[in-house]
Amino acid sequence: MKTYLDCIPCFYQQVLKAARVSGASEEVQRELLNNLSEIIPKFSLNTTPAEMGKKIYTMISKITGKKDPYREIKEESNKIALKMYPEMKVRIKNIDKDKQLFTAVKLAIIGNIIDFGIEDMESIQEKIHIMLNDEFNFQKNIDEKYFDYSTFQQYLSEVDSVLYLADNSGEVVFDRILIEHLVNSYHKNVIYVVKGKPVSNDALVDDAIFCGINQFANIISSGADSPGIVLKYCSPEFIRIFDEAEMIISKGQGNYEALSDKENPIFFLLIAKCPLIARHIGCKIGDFVLENSLRKGMPSVDFIESK
Amino acid sequence: MKTYLDCIPCFYQQVLKAARVSGASEEVQRELLNNLSEIIPKFSLNTTPAEMGKKIYTMISKITGKKDPYREIKEESNKIALKMYPEMKVRIKNIDKDKQLFTAVKLAIIGNIIDFGIEDMESIQEKIHIMLNDEFNFQKNIDEKYFDYSTFQQYLSEVDSVLYLADNSGEVVFDRILIEHLVNSYHKNVIYVVKGKPVSNDALVDDAIFCGINQFANIISSGADSPGIVLKYCSPEFIRIFDEAEMIISKGQGNYEALSDKENPIFFLLIAKCPLIARHIGCKIGDFVLENSLRKGMPSVDFIESK
């Protein structure tokens, strides 16, 4: 996805938010906003917003000297999510076997509500509880147009392994529910991909281990520190794994921004939180998305008929 | 009110919005955002946000060549508001005499929901109808802490004339309801102040006349084109009238930003739409505000006791 002009005000909000999390003084916050003003005129809109994210977090880390300002927030969100884990496991066990995969996918998407760029932990916890207890609340946020569960299910049945791209800390616990299910019930090999260096509240290897992913999947790093996996910043090893993957599950908006134009077999699981991403997908803010890159790559019926 | 760091992302949103209303191409929109990036590092936070508003609208008008891009929108909002006028008049007539002033004040504040920086006309019309029909909806949005009706009423009883600072087009019709009441039932002389040149959807002399204000009040221009009356840009005649005014009614956030630090007898009528203004006032977003500069100038009990 390219960068829209509407992303520019949002970049300023991101700088301010991250600067404050980093404990920057008012003066340093102003300096960071001024620095962004120097970058903006040179930034190409043909790059993805995730690339600007990389620039922003690198700049903040350099000026504030804080390598991982979201460390505490990440630890807290992992702990809170782990407390919800037993309840989620019981929920999966108590439903019909043929509905378990769908519920696991749904939980993985619900976990994507965790995003410190947008809300604080208390309101997130409340929202997650409401969603978990309200099937209707989930159903009203999905539509087959951008929630293609049948292709996901079919594709999954034909592969041996899944490359799973993580998003936020805390959310990792919700990913674990789906991954456990893919491993135990569907006998898939799963590789779980985290960021190479701290960026925002994105999960790192430590977070994945703390949340117990290592019991079910291999954990690797993308090598990059952009919010969303921008391939050109990733390690050659990761790029090879990515290109050879039979099926990729990609979590969150950052990865969608960075990878939506690729032709690899990627299934994007996310909650649409930004109006531009919602417009790009064709859904509303708050909608639950299960989109795949294959469908987008296929010419539409209209296109074929007009040839 | 000074400019907060959080105003900076909002300035970018304002540029984008106004550039689009002006019909600017994607390239010109980008150019305008880049120009703002040049201004931002030099802009002092000790000035009011209304001053940046002036810079923004001047820049857009200069680059797009459009002197009054909001003209059509303003005309439309005047017409829509005028259609609601008869219903509002009936509403005032049918209630007890001692409650009429309060209702007129309430209507003038409800009119402040018109703001093209934030929403489109259809949803505004719907909201106004809901508010008009739902006394509870209005009551739940007010609190004596920031809705000092008794001082307003008392102050009004002691003056002969009122200087009324307009905000948006369309809203003018709601102002007219209050002004008619001040003139006919309270026998006040009212001077209605509009902007000197086009800025956003703010009312000009034409709008005030189209909405019939001239039947009840003298209409004058502030001479300035900032969103919110920044005195240093106003004509000497207006500044004299402002300084000599017995009582000033000031509509909207722009005027609050520009004038909240003054010691003149100003009564601010507005809906809090921005989180920073809400924080400054001590209310929530969406709350109805009737604040006065006199109260703010007085030392609080805590302050006196600690001396």
Give Cβ neighbours of residue B245 (< 8 Å, ≥ 6 apart). B161, B162, B163, B264, B265
Distances (CA, A) of B246 to B104, B143, B216, B232, B295: 20, 26, 18, 21, 16
User: Per-residue confidence at B136, pLDDT binned at 50, 70, 90?
Assistant: low
Q: Which residue of B has its CA nearest to A35?
A: B41
Tokens of B180: 């008619």
Confidence tier at A234 by pLDDT (50, 70, 90)? very high
pLDDT at position A307 over 80 = no
Residues B38, B77: contact at Cβ < 8 Å?
no
What is A71-297's CATH topology? Rossmann fold (3.40.50)
Q: Cα-atom radius of gyration of chain A, to the nearest Å?
A: 19
- Which residues on B lie below 8 Å from A38 (Cβ)? 37, 41
Which of A13, A26, A40 faces B33 most closely, judged by CB atoms?
A40
Residue boundaries of the structural domains of chain A: 7-64, 71-297
Q: Interior CA angle at B50 toward B45 and B53, to 5°? A: 100
Test the A interface: residue of B3, B12, B33, B35 with most A CBs within 10 Å = B12
Q: Smallest Cα–Cα separation from B285: which of B172, B146, B170?
A: B146
Q: Which residues contact B73 (CB under 8 A, 6 or more apart)?
A: B21, B116, B121, B169, B201
User: How distant is the Cα of A33 from the closest Cα of chain B, in angstroms?
Assistant: 8
Q: Is the pLDDT of residue A137 over 70?
A: no
Could you report the predicted ipTM of this complex, rounded to two decimals? Answer: 0.84
Question: Could you tell me the CA-to-CA distances from B36 to A16, B5, B12 in Å, in that order?
Answer: 17, 15, 7
| Length of chain B (residues) | 307
| CB-side neighbour CA atoms (13 Å) of B102 | 14
> A55: exposed, middle or buried (C-beta count within 10 Å: 0-12, 13-18, 19+)?
middle
Maximum CA extent, chain A: 60
For the record, the structure tokens of B6 come out as 């959080």
Angle at the Cα of A49 (from A61 to B40), degrees rounded to 5?
Answer: 65
Q: What pLDDT band is residue B101 in, cutting at 50, 70 and 90?
A: very high
Q: How far apart are CA B229 and CA B252, in angstroms?
A: 11
Q: With contacts defined as CB-CB under 8 Å, which chain B residues touch A16?
A: 5-6, 8-9
**Which pLDDT band holds residue A252 (cuts at 50, 70, 90)?**
very high
Q: Do A275 and A283 meet the contact criterion of CB atoms below 8 Å apart?
A: no
pLDDT bin (cut points 50, 70, 90) of residue A10 is very high
d(CA A99, CA A101): 6
Q: What is the pLDDT of residues A79-93, one digit of tens each?
A: 989 998 998 898 888
Question: Structure tokens of A219?
Answer: 């954990």
Query: Which is more confidently placed, B95 or A301?
Result: B95
Would you call A9 and B9 a contact, using CB atoms and an 8 Å cutoff? yes
Residues of B in contact with A8 (CB under 8 A): 12, 16, 33
Please state, rounded to an integer, the average pLDDT across all residues of chain A: 89
pLDDT at A222 over 50: yes
φ and ψ at residue A305, rounded to 5 degrees: -65, -30
Distance from the Cα of A100 to chain B's closest Cα (Å) equals: 41
Both structure tokens of A9? 């005000």
pLDDT band at A302 (very low <50, low <70, confident <90, very high): very low
Q: CA of A121 to nearest chain B CA: how many angstroms apart?
A: 20
Structure tokens at A100: 């378990």
Block residue for tokens 């037993």: A86
Assess whether pLDDT exceeds 60 at residue B159: yes
> Tell me: the pLDDT tens digits for B268-307?
999 999 999 999 999 999 899 999 988 754 333 333 333 2
Contacts of A34 in chain B (CB under 8 A): 40-41
Give the residue numbers in B contacting A (CB under 8 Å), as ranges: 5-6, 8-10, 12-13, 16, 26, 29-30, 33-34, 37-38, 40-41, 45
- From the number of C-beta atoms within 10 Å of its C-beta (0-12, 13-18, 19+), residue A194 rates as buried
- Chain A residues in contact with B38 by the CB 8 A cut-off are 37, 41
Question: For residue B251, what are the CA distances in angstroms to A29, B47, B66, B70, B289?
Answer: 32, 20, 26, 19, 10
In this prediction the pTM is 0.86
**CA nearest to A1, candidates A54, A45, A55:** A45
Q: Edge-to-edge, what's the strand order for the sheet holding B218-221?
A: B218-221, B189-194, B161-165, B248-251, B266-271, B288-292
Of the candidate ranges A108-122, A247-261, B100-114, the one whose mean pLDDT is the lowest: A108-122
Nearest CA in chain A to B10: A9
Q: Which residues of B159-188 are buried (b: 16+ CB within 10 A; e: fewer)?
A: eeebbbbbbbbbbbbbbbbbbbbbbeeeeb
| Dist CA A130 CA A225 (whole Å) | 33
**Average pLDDT score over residue span A110-117:** 77
Please list every residue in chain A whose beta carbon sits closer than 8 Å to the beta carbon of residue B12: 8-9, 12
pLDDT of residue B183: 98
pLDDT of A115 reads: 74
Residues sharing a CB contact under 8 Å with residue A66, sequence separation 6 or more, in sequence order: A22, A23, A60
Give the model confidence (pLDDT) of A262-275 as tens digits.
Answer: 999 999 999 999 99
Residue of higher predicted confidence among B293 and A188: A188
Q: How far apart are CA B216 and CA B220, in angstroms?
A: 13
User: How many residue contacts between A and B have a Cβ separation below 8 Å?
Assistant: 45
A276 to chain B, minimum CA–CA distance in Å? 14
Place of tokens 């809300």: A119
Adjacent-strand bridge partners of A289: A270
Q: Rounded mean pLDDT of chain B?
A: 89
Determine which helix (DSSP H) or strand (DSSP E) holds A251, and give its type and residue range: strand A248-251
Reported as a single tens digit per residue, the pLDDT across A56-72 is: 999 999 999 999 999 98
